[in-house]
Amino acid sequence: MQFPSPTVQAAPPRSSSGATQPLLAVRDVYKTYSLKHGQTLRAVDGVSFTVMPGEVLGLVGESGCGKSTLGRCLLRLNDVSAGQIIFDGQDITRLPERILRPLRQQMQMVFQDSYASLNPRRRIGDLLAEPLRVHRTPDGRKHTPMAIAHRLEELMELVSLPRAALERYPHEFSGGQRQRVNIARALVLSPRLVVADEPVSALDVSVQAQIVNLFADLQKSLGLTYVFIAHDLAVVRQISTRVAVMYLGVIVELGETDTVLHNPAHPYTIALTQAVPRPVVGAPRHAPLRGEIPSPVNKPSGCRFHTRCPAVQTRCQNEAPTLTQIAPNHAVACHYPVLKSTHA
Amino acid sequence: MPTNTLSPPLLDVHDLCVSFTSRGQVVPIVENLSFSIGEQEILGLVGESGSGKSVTAMALMGLIDAPGVHVSGSARFKGQDLLGLSGKQMRALRGREIAMIFQDPMTAFTPVYTIGWQIDEQLRAHHNLSRKQARTRTVELLGEMGVPDPANTANRYPHQLSGGLRQRAMIAMALSCNPSLLIADEPTTALDVTVQAQILDLMRRLRTTYGSSVLLITHDMGVVAETCDSTLVLYSGRAAETGATQDLFAHPQHPYTAALLASIPPMNGPRPDRLPAIPGTPPQPLERPAGCAFAPRCTYTHASCLPAPPPTFCTVGPAHKVACVLPGEGNPLPKRAYTSATPVL
Ligand SMILES: Nc1ncnc2c1ncn2[C@@H]1O[C@H](COP(=O)(O)OP(=O)(O)OP(=O)(O)O)[C@@H](O)[C@H]1O
Ligand SMILES: Nc1ncnc2c1ncn2[C@@H]1O[C@H](COP(=O)(O)OP(=O)(O)O)[C@@H](O)[C@H]1O
Ligand code: SF4
Ligand code: SF4
Ligand SMILES: [Mg+2]
Ligand SMILES: [Mg+2]
């Protein structure tokens, strides 16, 4: 199946301000879970960043570092424990659901497991129509059946599925097609922000590229803004304008995609880029790091990476580094950042 | 590591077919698979989910004997045919001569005993060791697998260990009897890349420290490129291409292999606007075309690709074989355009 350029035009920008205002601003956000025996786990431990309209922010890091938790906080699917989430200039952190509701149309999520997120007993057309039946048009009216039918056809075209797919059930699709359905569902209400949590990780290798292309096409043609969560650095590089690297609940490096992936300054980012196995035969490379990510319940003191860091110094054990700008649009949380590809 | 071409291979699989019967229909899962693994060689068996990798491994281990399963072909291992062994003979071989590790280490361990106890038992089942001697060896093995503080870790239960540590413990258990062949089914798929790199390091060292051969099953072309001496690419239950990893990656000659490699986003060099994706999806076993299974997705499909039987292996270089009609018709694919000169990140 090839992907014709989507014919449907982007919804007109609804921002009252110019493009100089971030679509999403995250200010010192914490998310704490309470565990048994009075223990607490700070899954997100003080995170700040902004995303401009039309930008794709890639969020990478190893399992359990807090990517999904943060993603859910951004859309208020989780309540944050502290900090602020500002969407299009409006603080949504503690908005009651009633006021939040119209805003929810503008931010949607796509998940990894294409099957779990679709009700198996409902036809695709039904699943896609539901948000239109629940939500109202911008001028407060109900969507007419005609308008709904028209929108569904538009959506099928957007994600390159045949119209006949609307009559079928989720189990009748392959994983890649189901992920197209999930993307269509996220787009029903013409959102401006899409948070995608590992949307291609569960797909067959030969299908991943199709879906990565689809995300990229939609982003361009609809002017969407993404927070794209993935552990595959190559996929993140392909789609993102900027990349944030997380470790144990915090962002350790943030900057332009090529800066972060080709000139990483944080020892963890350097290790991460070196650990990615590439489909090129060469001298076998050695594991860049020893040990594993420590438990998020008992985080190391000082710099939380110090137990595995090849560049650790005494200061790192006691003093936590903060995310600091080291160049325009490049911030690192490390006392001894590696500057200018000296590690190559 | 070059395999010694004079000695016979450790494992020689010929025409392996596995089918299941489902609702009265015979479902071919693996069709006419042939490959061999030399002494101390690491062979990568690579394919997408559902391509039949695990079924191949289970068939070799004598672990699929569900009703309706039909296994045919031969698998010669040290002079005997694994597929002809009785359950008892196979059990004697498993663990001692051939060991297997899985993607999910929890399947290898019982939750109610410490990992040390379970490795001790495995050792004692095959060697005449006292409990104390077994534990000494267990601790040694765990240490060799890079488990920190092995004496104490041995006393912990599987669920008390992280994924990476459990994987190391499972490899320790698999190696406890010094098997000549280790079958590793997606051993790093569930692990983070930094831990994956450690386990792959370990895999590469096994052949020198233990003299083991490895059948490494994965869906990740990157893992194959970095770890395996030779590669066998599976597509929809059939072999598509095999060869020395170096040759196969430098010049993939099956359109599937070539397209798969091309579709992986690059880590360096310019970012393409769009990735060269492969259209469509792999066929289900019952919908597998009679001719070439890749034909519905292939850019080069033409009349001779479609009739049964599917293309058989055509030799295109030393040990490099391709199940595609193109080389035989005098139209081999061009070499892969990748920039090996660009430093890999
Ligand atoms: N509902 C919950 N209750 C308690 N702990 C939780 C809960 N959800 C997540 N956690 C913990 O919070 C931490 C971050 O989890 P999260 O799912 O955000 O990680 P992630 O980066 O998305 O990982 P992965 O790559 O595995 O998806 C983990 O230690 C996790 O175990
Ligand atoms: N017990 C079984 N009964 C019927 N079909 C099976 C069984 N086990 C596996 N299969 C089918 O065999 C094919 C290959 O499966 P598998 O070897 O697990 O693939 P892989 O390991 O390459 O992902 C799949 O189509 C799967 O659905
Ligand atoms: S602060 Fe110290 S321990 Fe942390 S990453 Fe930097 S050098 Fe390593
Ligand atoms: S046999 Fe034909 S369809 Fe199959 S891979 Fe070769 S060219 Fe493509
Ligand atoms: Mg997650
Ligand atoms: Mg499998």
The CATH number given to whatever domain includes residue A198 is 3.40.50.300
Cα of A82 to nearest chain B Cα, Å: 29
A223 neighbors A13 (Cβ within 8 angstroms) = yes
Starting from the CA of residue B64, give the closest ligand.
2
Residue A192's pLDDT is 97
Say if residue B216 is in the same domain as residue B258: no
In the reported structure, the alpha carbon of residue B312 is separated from the centroid of ligand 4 by a whole-number distance in angstroms of 11
Answer whether residue A10 shows pLDDT above 60. no
Q: Which two tokens stand for residue A221?
A: 């043609």
DSSP assignment letter at B270 = P
Residue A284's pLDDT is 66
Closest residue of B to A240, CA-based?
Answer: B271
Contacts of A27 (CB under 8 A, 6+ apart): A48, A83, A84, A85, A86
- The count of domains in chain B is 2
Does residue A109 belong to any structural domain of this protein? yes
The ligand 2 atom nearest the CA atom of B64: 1
Beta strand B42-46 with B314-317 is unpaired
Say if residue A230 is in the same domain as residue A93: yes
Closest listed residue to residue B294, CA positions, set B315, B311, B272? B311
Say if residue A290 is in the same domain as residue A160: no
Q: Look-up: residue for tokens 């189990």?
A: A171
Answer whether residue A312 shows pLDDT above 90. yes
In the reported structure, the alpha carbon of residue B150 is separated from the centroid of ligand 2 by a whole-number distance in angstroms of 37
Interface of B with A in 75-114 (CB under 8 A): none
Say if residue A97 is in the same domain as residue A197: yes
Mind listing the pLDDT tens digit for each residue in A138-171? 788 899 999 999 999 999 999 999 999 999 999 9
Answer whether residue B139 shows pLDDT above 60. yes
Say if residue B208 is in the same domain as residue B98: yes
Answer whether residue A2 shows pLDDT above 60. no
Mean pLDDT of A35-41: 86
Interface contact B196, partner A, CB < 8 A: yes
Task: Provide the strand spans (E) within chain A.
Answer: 24-34, 40-51, 56-60, 82-87, 90-91, 107-110, 193-197, 225-229, 242-247, 250-256, 324-327, 330-332
Instruction: Mark yes or no for CB contact A286/B192 under 8 Å.
Output: no
Mean pLDDT of A177-199: 95
A214 forms beta bridges with none
Closest residue of B to A62, CA-based?
Answer: B192
Q: Which two tokens stand for residue B28?
A: 């071919």
Say if residue B287 is in the same domain as residue B218: no
Q: What is the mean pLDDT of chain A?
A: 90
Does residue A14 belong to any structural domain of this protein? no
As a whole number of angstroms, the distance between CA A339 and CA B12 comes to 52
Mind listing the pLDDT tens digit for each residue in B49-71? 889 999 999 999 998 878 889 99
Say if residue B291 is in the same domain as residue B192: no
Angle among Cα A154, A160, A165 to the nearest 5 degrees reads: 75
Say if residue A37 is in the same domain as residue A90: yes
Residue B207's pLDDT is 86
Pick the range with the lowest mean pLDDT from A6-10, B7-11, B302-306.
Answer: A6-10
Q: What SS3 state is found at A48?
A: strand
Mean pLDDT of B149-168: 90
Q: Which domain holds residue A101?
A: 24-240
Say if residue A214 is in the same domain as residue A260: no
Say if residue B198 is in the same domain as residue B257: no
Say if residue B224 is in the same domain as residue B301: no
Pick the range with the lowest mean pLDDT from A102-116, B239-253, B308-322.
Answer: A102-116
Beta strand A193-197 with A225-229 is parallel
Mean pLDDT of A17-26: 82
Answer whether residue A174 shows pLDDT above 90. no
Q: What SS3 state is found at B253?
A: coil
Closest listed residue to residue B230, CA positions, set B245, B246, B209, B250? B245
Mean pLDDT of B274-283: 92
Answer whether residue A16 shows pLDDT above 90. no
CA–CA distance from B66 to each of B18, B21, B22, B57, B277 (Å)?
12, 10, 12, 15, 37
Starting from the CA of residue A246, give the closest ligand.
1
Mean pLDDT of A184-205: 94
Q: Which two tokens stand for residue A23?
A: 């679509």
Assess whether the C-beta atom of A294 lies below 6 angstroms from ligand 1: no
Mutate which of B324, B329, B331 for ligand 4 pocket (most atoms within 8 A of beta carbon) = B324
Q: What is the mean pLDDT of chain B?
A: 91
Interface contact A149, partner B, CB < 8 A: no
A30 forms beta bridges with A45, A82
Residue A304's pLDDT is 96
Beta strand B42-46 with B213-218 is parallel
As a whole number of angstroms, the distance between CA B123 and CA B28 comes to 38
Does residue B341 belong to any structural domain of this protein? no
**Nearest by CB: A206 against B260, B267, B340:** B260
Instruction: Count interface pairs A-B at CB distance under 8 A.
Output: 160
Does residue B31 belong to any structural domain of this protein? no
Does residue A217 belong to any structural domain of this protein? yes
Q: Which two tokens stand for residue A213?
A: 């292309």
As a whole number of angstroms, the distance between CA B249 and CA B221 comes to 9
**Nearest by CB: B225 against A212, A279, A291:** A279
Does residue B28 belong to any structural domain of this protein? no
Please list every residue in chain A whose beta carbon sits closer than 8 Å to the beta carbon of residue B275.
209, 212-213, 238
Say if residue B138 is in the same domain as residue B176: yes
Say if residue A261 is in the same domain as residue A213: no
Residue B311's pLDDT is 97
Radius of gyration of chain B (CA): 21
Answer whether residue B135 shows pLDDT above 70. yes
Answer whether residue B333 shows pLDDT above 80. yes
CA–CA distance from A145 to each of A53, A132, A150, B171 (Å)?
32, 10, 9, 59
Per-residue pLDDT band at A13 (split at 50, 70, 90): very low
Does residue A114 belong to any structural domain of this protein? yes
Percent of chain A predicted with pLDDT > 70: 93
Per-residue pLDDT band at A14 (split at 50, 70, 90): very low
Q: What SS3 state is found at A14?
A: coil
As a whole number of angstroms, the distance between CA B340 and CA B345 comes to 11
Say if residue A319 is in the same domain as residue A188: no
Mean pLDDT of B217-239: 96
Percent of chain A predicted with pLDDT > 90: 75
Say if residue A199 is in the same domain as residue A325: no
The CATH number given to whatever domain includes residue B129 is 3.40.50.300
Residue A3's pLDDT is 37
In the reported structure, the alpha carbon of residue A326 is separated from the centroid of ligand 3 by a whole-number distance in angstroms of 15
Say if residue B54 is in the same domain as residue B178: yes
Mean pLDDT of A50-65: 95
Residue B5's pLDDT is 53
Contacts of A22 (CB under 8 A, 6+ apart): A50, A51, A52, A53, A86
Per-residue pLDDT band at A19 (split at 50, 70, 90): low
Residue B163's pLDDT is 82
As a whole number of angstroms, the distance between CA A170 and CA A119 comes to 8
The distance from CA A200 to its chain's CA centroid, rounded to whole angstroms, is 12
Residue A8's pLDDT is 38
Mind listing the pLDDT tens digit for each residue in A91-106? 999 999 999 988 999 9
Does residue A12 belong to any structural domain of this protein? no
Mean pLDDT of A300-306: 96
Residue B144's pLDDT is 86
Say if residue A266 is in the same domain as residue A210: no
As a whole number of angstroms, the distance between CA A335 and CA A244 comes to 18
Q: Look-up: residue for tokens 């075209």?
A: A157
Q: What SS3 state is found at B315?
A: strand
Query: What are the two backbone dihedrals, phi and then psi, of residue B337, each rounded to the nearest 5 degrees?
Result: -95, 90
Q: What SS3 state is found at A74?
A: helix
Percent of chain B predicted with pLDDT > 90: 73
Q: Which two tokens stand for residue A260?
A: 């972060």
A2 neighbors A160 (Cβ within 8 angstroms) = yes
**Nearest by CB: B195 against A176, A286, A292:** A292
Closest listed residue to residue B238, CA positions, set B69, B42, B52? B52
Residue A102's pLDDT is 87
Residue A67's pLDDT is 95
Length of chain B: 345
Interface contact B224, partner A, CB < 8 A: yes
Does residue A36 belong to any structural domain of this protein? yes
Say if residue B57 is in the same domain as residue B90: yes
Does residue B238 belong to any structural domain of this protein? no
Say if residue A215 is in the same domain as residue A306: no
Instruction: Mark yes or no for CB contact B194/A288 under 8 Å.
Output: yes
Per-residue pLDDT band at B16 (split at 50, 70, 90): very high
Contacts of A314 (CB under 8 A, 6+ apart): none
Q: Which domain holds residue B259?
A: 252-266+276-334
Say if residue B179 is in the same domain as residue B60: yes
As a whole number of angstroms, the distance between CA A45 and CA B261 comes to 38
Residue B39's pLDDT is 95
- Torsion (CA) B166, B171, B175, B180 in degrees, nearest 10: 160
Say if residue A179 is in the same domain as residue A236: yes
- The count of domains in chain A is 2
Say if residue A87 is in the same domain as residue A201: yes
Does residue A3 belong to any structural domain of this protein? no
Cα of B100 to nearest chain A Cα, Å: 23
Say if residue B111 is in the same domain as residue B206: yes
Contacts of B160 (CB under 8 A, 6+ apart): none
Does residue B305 belong to any structural domain of this protein? yes
Say if residue B109 is in the same domain as residue B216: yes
Q: Which two tokens stand for residue A49?
A: 């960043």
Angle among Cα A174, B55, B170 to the nearest 5 degrees reads: 110
Residue A303's pLDDT is 98
Closest listed residue to residue A107, CA positions, set A41, A187, A220? A187
